[in-house]
């Protein structure tokens, strides 16, 4: 992985951790996903129009098919993530989602996109996945706990974390192919794909307008944060994919867990800090391995 791609992934990780903390604090549902998409459409309109003015009209059915599929997968991912945040702790859902997704996407890139990974890179992937496992709770995740309510929350966190990771893997491979092979601009696949997301989420916003207004009054500040900065983190990753193997970029994204462990755990008051720091160090070691090979 080049130094440029490595820097982009590190910066994307910081931004990604910040907007996920905002999404967790919002406690929103599908309406929150709609709010963030509408804000993204407005805030990023100048960039999207500039990048797509002469390009989007030339797209054929293949480009639109990829953008549509990307939009659908991103909606499924975000709704599942938000539901997981309502049902369980961020330090369970987020690490499992971020660890399981790259494991699948890296495997898919190696098996289906012909990418190769060195021994050091493979060890880096293992370190990243192991680190997020420790942050999520380690072996304790699979043992019953005395507090039944907490036990249920942890189990739900595992389910939603793994399901979210599945969607992450799917859109990472799809979007990675679009920017690396089809040469679609990272800006356009995210911004134009957002219109697909808006179309899918609009019925939820319009179905009960009183509930939508109430949700907006509670959540608009968090929606503004997520809608404004989340595209930055993902576009940085897509640009990194253009210059580095997807099987390296996908796991390296998990440096966001380093920031989430140090920032999110403190802000949200979630425990197991020592184990979380050890997991973060594993992630850092894995990222360094991927960054140099």
What does the H/E/C string look like for the chain?
CCHHHHHHHHHHHHHHHHHHHHHHHHCCCHHHHHHHHHHHHHHCHHHHHHHHCCCHHHCCHHHHHHHHHHHHHHHHHHHHHHHHHHHCCHHHHHHHHHHHHHHHHHHHHHHHCCCCCCHHHHHHHHHHHHHHHHHHCHHHHHCCCCCHHHHHHHHHHHHHHHHHHHHHHHHHHHHHHHHHCCCCCHHHHHHHHHHHHHHHHHHHHHHCHHHHHHHHHHHHHHHHHHHHHHHHHHHHHHHHHHHCCHHHHHHHHHHHHHHHHHHHHHHHCCCCHHHHHHHHHHHHHHHHHHHHC
Q: What per-residue confidence (pLDDT) applies to 196? A: 96
Taking the C-alpha atoms of residue 97 and residue 124, their distance in angstroms, rounded to an integer, is: 18
Residue 199 has pLDDT above 90, yes or no: yes
Taking the C-alpha atoms of residue 12 and residue 2, their distance in angstroms, rounded to an integer, is: 15
Q: How confident is the model at residue 293 (pLDDT cuts 50, 70, 90)?
A: low
- The percentage of residues in the chain with a pLDDT greater than 90, rounded to a whole number, is 36
Q: Is 27 left (phi over 0), alpha (psi -120 to 50) or beta?
A: left
Taking the C-alpha atoms of residue 258 and residue 17, their distance in angstroms, rounded to an integer, is: 9
Mean pLDDT of the chain: 83
Please state the rounded mean pLDDT for residues 206-218. 94
Q: What per-residue confidence (pLDDT) applies to 33? A: 95
Q: What per-residue confidence (pLDDT) applies to 20? A: 86
Highest averaged pLDDT of the listed ranges 7-11, 115-119, 266-270? 7-11
Interacting residues of 38 by C-beta distance below 8 A, sequence separation 6+: 198, 227
Q: What per-residue confidence (pLDDT) applies to 32? A: 96
Q: What per-residue confidence (pLDDT) applies to 142? A: 65
Q: Which domain holds residue 123?
A: 3-292
What are the angstrom distances between the C-alpha of 127 and each of 14, 39, 107? 19, 36, 15
Structure tokens at 156: 């739900």
Q: What per-residue confidence (pLDDT) applies to 103? A: 67
Judged by average pLDDT, the poorest of 105-109, 112-116, 178-182, 262-266 is 262-266
Q: How confident is the model at residue 266 (pLDDT cuts 50, 70, 90)?
A: low
Residue 48 has pLDDT above 80, yes or no: yes
**Contact of 222 with 25, CB cutoff 8 Å:** yes
Q: What per-residue confidence (pLDDT) applies to 92? A: 77
Q: Which residues of 184-201 are buried (b: 16+ CB within 10 A; e: fewer)?
A: bbbbbbbbbbbebbbebb
Residue 18 has pLDDT above 90, yes or no: no
Taking the C-alpha atoms of residue 221 and residue 273, their distance in angstroms, rounded to an integer, is: 28
More confident residue, 92 or 216: 216
More confident residue, 73 or 108: 73
pLDDT in tens, 120-166: 878 877 887 787 777 666 777 666 555 666 667 777 888 898 899 88
Q: What per-residue confidence (pLDDT) applies to 150? A: 67
Residue 236 has pLDDT above 60, yes or no: yes
Cα atoms in the 13 Å half-sphere on the side-chain side of 37: 25
Q: What per-residue confidence (pLDDT) applies to 68? A: 96
Judged by average pLDDT, the poorest of 44-48, 62-66, 69-73, 175-179 is 175-179
More confident residue, 140 or 192: 192
pTM value? Answer: 0.80
Structure tokens at 149: 């309510």
**How many separate domains does the chain show?**
1
Nearest to 80 by CA among 93, 66, 95: 93
């Amino acid at each position: 992985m080049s130094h440029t791609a490595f820097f982009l992934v590190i910066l994307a990780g910081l931004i990604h951790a910040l907007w996920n903390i905002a999404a967790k604090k919002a406690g929103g549902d599908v309406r929150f996903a709609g709010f963030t998409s509408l804000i993204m459409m407005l805030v990023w309109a100048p960039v999207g129009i500039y990048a797509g003015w002469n390009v989007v009209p030339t797209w054929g059915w293949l480009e639109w098919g990829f953008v549509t599929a990307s939009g659908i997968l991103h909606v499924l991912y975000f709704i599942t993530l938000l539901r997981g945040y309502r049902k369980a702790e961020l330090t369970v859902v987020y690490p499992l989602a971020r660890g399981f997704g790259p494991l699948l996407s890296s495997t898919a890139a190696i098996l289906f996109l012909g990418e190769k990974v060195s021994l050091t890179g493979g060890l880096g992937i293992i370190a990243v996945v192991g680190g997020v496992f420790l942050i999520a709770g380690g072996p304790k995740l699979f043992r019953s706990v005395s507090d039944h309510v907490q036990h249920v929350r942890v189990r739900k966190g595992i389910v939603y974390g793994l399901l979210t990771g599945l969607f992450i893997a799917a859109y990472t491979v799809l979007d990675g192919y679009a920017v690396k092979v089809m040469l679609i601009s990272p800006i356009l696949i995210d911004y134009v794909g957002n219109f697909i997301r808006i179309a899918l989420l609009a019925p939820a916003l319009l179905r009960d307008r009183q509930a939508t207004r109430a949700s907006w009054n509670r959540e608009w500040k968090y929606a503004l944060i997520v809608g404004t900065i989340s595209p930055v983190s993902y576009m940085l990753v897509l640009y990194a994919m253009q210059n580095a193997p997807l099987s390296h970029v996908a796991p390296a994204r998990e440096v966001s867990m380093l920031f989430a462990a140090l920032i999110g755990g403190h802000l949200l008051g979630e425990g197991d800090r020592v184990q979380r720091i050890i997991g973060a160090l594993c992630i850092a070691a894995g990222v360094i391995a991927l960054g140099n090979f």
